[in-house]
């Protein structure tokens, strides 16, 4: 098992090196002296140093971006120039807020829907219609009614996180084993105690699966939402660097988004493991 793990790590590392190598080879500056000489004047006219290549950035350049940003993640030099940690913190703050609000709504509502077949049927059409709507489609409405771009971002996260949680909670609650409910009934357990000590733990694995999916979607959506509303956040950072034509920074941001997304998923994976029971 241990050696399997090592082997896998080795192969991962090898693949990564091959990828970097191929990338490096593909972005080597072309050695055509005559062309370079002819263009030098043009390049100078365009306000660029001759040594700067206009093509796709080579890995070394991206590496430099990694080093610069990671060596000072917390600086703040005005609205368009903040450290990566600050940008990520803004995004995480919005995701956390929207997600938390979604939990507050989705858990009780999902409980109610799961407990009552009537409510399930009554609310089903709304859920089915609203669920497939891209969360960004809410943005104009949110901007118009909430009149604040940051709050609108939170709202978009809220609206996209709510569906998987709601549906999974309702499903988990509705499919709690009859036997356990019967035990609670024969013991005359009061409704609140039953909800917290029987139904919630029984449905917890399903509910956490929903939360994990929601968090994944929220992290996907926040980038797009921040590109739209601007101001702060990792999505805005990506857009800003695109406008600066600083592709190394964009690649750096993409990696950061991936890493943070993975960490979030790991946290929820852990939580899921915590509430999962073996029968």
Partner 1 sequence: MSSHFLLVEALKKVYPSGAGGKDNPPVFEDIHFHIDKGEFVCIVGHSGCGKTTILNVLAGLEQATAGDAFMDGREVKGPSLDRGVVFQSHALMPWMSVLGNVAFAVKSKWPDWSRDKITAHCTRYLEMVGLGQSIHKKPSELSGGMKQRVGIARAFAIQPKMLLLDEPFGALDALTRGTIQDELLKIVQATHQTVFMITHDVDEAILLADKILLMSNGPHAKIAEIVEITMPRQRTRAAIHHDPQYYLIRNHLVDFLVNRSKSYAGADAEMFHDAKNPPVVRPGLERERAPVLTLTTETPAPPLKRAINH
4 binds partner 1 (CB under 8 A): no
Classify each residue of 265-275 as buried b or exposed e, where b means 16 or more C-beta atoms within 10 Å of its C-beta. eeebeeebeee
Question: Which residue of 48, 64, 121, 185 would you call a contact of partner 1, by CB under 8 A?
Answer: 185
Classify each residue of 255-264 as buried b or exposed e, where b means 16 or more C-beta atoms within 10 Å of its C-beta. ebbeebbeeb
Q: Where are the beta strands (DSSP E) in the chain?
A: none
Share in percent of the chain as helix, strand, coil (round to 5): 80, 0, 20
Question: Which residue of 31, 76, 81, 179 would you call a contact of partner 1, by CB under 8 A?
Answer: 179
Q: Which CB atom, from 105 or from 195, has the smaller least distance to partner 1? A: 195
Alpha carbon of 211 to those of 56, 71, 113, 126, 228: distances in Å? Answer: 38, 33, 17, 20, 25
Q: Which of 226, 218, 219 is nearest to 162 (CA)?
A: 218
Q: Which CB atom, from 76 or from 188, has the smaller least distance to partner 1? A: 188
d(CA 211, CA 264): 11
How many residues line the site for partner 1 (CB under 8 A)?
A: 20
198 binds partner 1 (CB under 8 A): yes
Q: Find the shortest distance in angstroms from Cβ 114 to partner 1.
A: 18
Task: Determine the interface stretch with partner 1 among 9-17, 105-113, 186-194, 256-264 (rule: CB under 8 A).
Answer: 186-194
Q: Which CB atom, from 150 or from 206, has the smaller least distance to partner 1? A: 206
187 binds partner 1 (CB under 8 A): yes
Q: Which of 59, 87, 57, 61 is nearest to 72 (CA)?
A: 87
What residues between 246 and 275 interact with partner 1 by CB under 8 A?
Answer: 275
Q: Cα Rg for the chain, rounded, in angstroms?
A: 25
Question: Which residue of 146, 189, 220, 247 would you call a contact of partner 1, by CB under 8 A?
Answer: 189
Question: Which residue of 47, 129, 188, 243 would you call a contact of partner 1, by CB under 8 A?
Answer: 188
Binding site for partner 1 (CB under 8 A): 177, 179-180, 182-183, 185-189, 193, 197-198, 201-202, 204, 275, 277-279
């Amino acid at each position: 098992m241990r050696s399997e793990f090592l082997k896998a790590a080795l192969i991962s590392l090898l693949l990564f090196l091959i990828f970097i190598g191929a990338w490096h080879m593909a972005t080597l500056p072309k050695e055509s002296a005559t062309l370079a000489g002819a263009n030098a004047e043009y390049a100078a006219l365009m306000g660029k140093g001759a040594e700067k290549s206009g093509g796709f950035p080579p890995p070394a350049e991206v590496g430099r971006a990694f080093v610069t940003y990671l060596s000072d993640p917390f600086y703040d030099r005005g609205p368009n120039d903040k450290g990566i940690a600050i940008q990520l913190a803004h995004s995480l703050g919005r995701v956390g807020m929207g997600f938390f609000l979604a939990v507050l709504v989705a858990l009780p509502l999902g409980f109610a829907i799961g407990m009552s077949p009537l409510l399930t049927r009554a609310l089903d059409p709304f859920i089915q219609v609203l669920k497939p709507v891209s969360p960004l489609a809410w943005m104009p409405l949110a901007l118009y009614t909430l009149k604040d771009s940051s709050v609108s971002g939170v709202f978009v996260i809220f609206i996209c996180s709510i569906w998987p949680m709601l549906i999974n909670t309702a499903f988990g609650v509705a499919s709690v084993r009859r036997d356990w409910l019967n035990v609670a009934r024969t013991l005359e357990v009061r409704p609140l105690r039953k909800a917290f000590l029987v139904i919630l733990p029984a449905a917890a694995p399903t509910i956490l699966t929903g939360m994990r999916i929601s968090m994944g979607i929220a992290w996907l959506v926040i980038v797009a939402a921040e590109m739209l509303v601007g101001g702060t956040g990792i999505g805005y950072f990506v857009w800003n660097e695109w406008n600066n034509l600083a592709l190394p920074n964009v690649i750096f941001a993409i990696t950061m988004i991936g890493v943070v997304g993975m960490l979030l998923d790991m946290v929820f994976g852990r939580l899921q493991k915590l509430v999962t029971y073996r029968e």
